[in-house]
Amino acid sequence: MAPSRRHSTIYDVAARAGVSIGTVSKTLNHPSAVAEPTRRRVLDAVQALAFVPKEAAQARARRNCGRIGVFAPFTSYPSFAERLNGVLSALPGNRAEVVVFDVQSAAESSHVLETLPAMRSLDGVIVMSVPISLDVALRLQEGRLPAVFVDVSCPGFPAVATDDELGGRLAGDALLAAGKRRCAFLGHAQVQPAFESPSRRRLEGFQAALAAQGLALAPESVVLTGRSFDDAAAAATRILSGSHPPDGIFAHTDELAAAAHLAAQRLGLNVPEDLGIIGFDDSTLAEALELTTIRQPLRETGRWAFTTLTAMIADPSMVAPSVTLPVTLVRRRSV
């Protein structure tokens, strides 16, 4: 009888990577705490040796259903809760468990994602609006971990997005139709300049709509602010208090539109007579404040991501397409 194949151990990984077993454990469980060169050596060794942590192997043996991870900046953007609702709405009838990861940055997400193929703790991942490096993408592909992206593209993986540029054009057209000519854009400051964010695409569509009517946004009319509501309200107050205040604002999110609405009230401006405001998302906040907004199909993107990912898990040979979903203007009382 042929001898059984010996499974690689954490000691084998440590020896191959030239580190201690403590460093291997820290890399797999707390990747952000390990320097990148060391982390990559450990993960390369894990992959080369086909190492599976004992805990992960035992957990997999106990499970009789798949586990799917969802990565998103949930606490930074309330809209992602609605995308998650779309994922959860597709659960009935599927033998799957959803594990939620709240990530605050692309770096944080990348550190976790690149360890997942080694941990074997998930059957697939959904990554929402968090860009990853090509190195991490390659790690996912080599580890055969299916992944679907939402609101961000990644070469070699299917993605679902909404037509942000169209949303910007619809907002611009609506403000112009209401007679607004001194327009401004209120968005979030971008941490990664190279990343083609939804905010940037919405701004581009907004600028295109204005340009079609011979108008342009002055540099000072593109206002980028921090994540907090107070920061946004302060930024809106500054631009509305300037020597040439706008008579129309397109905001990257409904939360930013609400901040502009509050700033206008504090300055004694009437909405929409003195200032037209358009948000983006069609959230309950927009409905409560009667804000005109661009509705994007948040729940639909989550559901598409889940159903596509589960199909890829069931059929590893499947080549899933990427899709872009349309947006619509929802008219209320702020324009």
Category of 139 on φ-ψ map: left (φ > 0), alpha (ψ -120 to 50) or beta: alpha
DSSP H stretches of helix in 8-75: 10-17, 21-29, 36-49, 54-62
Q: Is the pTM of the predicted complex or chain greater than 0.85?
A: no
**Using CA atoms, how far apart are residues 247 and 266, in angstroms rounded to an integer?**
16
**Using CA atoms, how far apart are residues 291 and 272, in angstroms rounded to an integer?**
10
Q: Kindly write down the DSSP assignment for every residue of 219-281, as one continuous string.
A: GGGEEEE-SSHHHHHHHHHHHHTSSS--SEEEESSHHHHHHHHHHHHHTT--TTTT-EEEEEE
Tokens at residue 313, please? Answer: 């898990």
Long-range CB contacts (< 8 A, 24+ apart) of 18-25?
none
User: What kind and span of H or E run contains 138?
Assistant: helix 134-142
Q: What pLDDT was estimated at residue 63?
A: 43
Q: What pLDDT was estimated at residue 246?
A: 97
Nearest-10 crossing angle of helices 10-17, 21-29 = 100
Q: What is the pLDDT of residues 79-138, one digit of tens each?
A: 899 999 999 998 877 777 898 988 876 666 667 777 777 667 788 999 998 888 888 888
> Helix/strand/coil (H, E, C) string of 75-115?
CCCCHHHHHHHHHHHCCCCCCEEEEEEECCCHHHHHHHHCC
Q: What is the pLDDT of residues 27-86, one digit of tens each?
A: 777 777 778 788 878 777 777 776 766 655 544 544 434 789 999 988 878 889 999 999
Amino acid identity of 156? Answer: G
* pLDDT value at 238 more than 90: yes
Q: Are 246 and 215 in contact (CB under 8 A)?
A: no
Q: What is the pLDDT of residues 214-231, one digit of tens each?
A: 999 989 999 999 888 999
Task: Fill in the DSSP letter of residue 333.
Answer: S
The 10 Å Cβ neighbour count of residue 40 is 16
**Average pLDDT of every residue of the chain:** 86
What percent of the chain clears pLDDT 90, i.e. is strictly above it?
Answer: 53
Q: In order of start, what are the domains of the chain with their CATH numbers?
A: 1-51 (1.10.260.40), 164-296 (3.40.50.2300)
**Using CA atoms, how far apart are residues 261 and 276, in angstroms rounded to an integer?**
9
pLDDT category at 148 given cuts 50, 70, 90 is: very high
Q: Are 76 and 129 in contact (CB under 8 A)?
A: no
Radius of gyration of the chain measured on its C-alpha atoms: 23
